Amino acid sequence: MSEGNQLTVAPSFAALYADRSGRVRTPLAEVLARYEFCEDLASHLVEQAQILYHREAPSESGVLQGMHAALRVDDTLLSAAEAGWVVQRLAELLEWKCPALGEAEGGSVQG
């Protein structure tokens, strides 16, 4: 965290950038910027997820899996690990149980 920034990276997000021994090898400023982006994205998706659940989707799990699939369409926006984290964070914000998301679970960001 820089002197002018009060934001702390969630340990679950920092783990995406950690090696097997738990050390983060990516510059802190980059991890912080990616965290801010992913946290903001999860927050912005809350309303959309609620709308989908009440109008179109058969279940909370279906909404979250659909969101995950949409986030995985373009690897230039989010890595697989980040997409999984965004959906898990979205589930937390909605107080929904997060379904298994496949390849993104437990993954790490390749640097």
- Per-residue pLDDT tens listing for the chain (111 residues): 444 556 789 999 999 999 999 898 899 999 999 999 999 999 999 999 999 999 986 799 999 999 999 999 988 899 999 999 999 999 999 999 999 987 544 455 654
State how many domains the chain has: 1
pLDDT at residue 56 in the model:
81
111 inside domain: no
Residue 90 lies in a domain: yes
DSSP the chain: --TT------HHHHGGGB-TTS-B-S-HHHHHHHHHHHHHHHHHHHHHHHHHHHHT-S-HHHHHHHHHHHHTS-TTT--HHHHHHHHHHHHHHHT-PPPP-GGGTT-----
Global pTM reads 0.85
Range of the domain at 69: 11-101
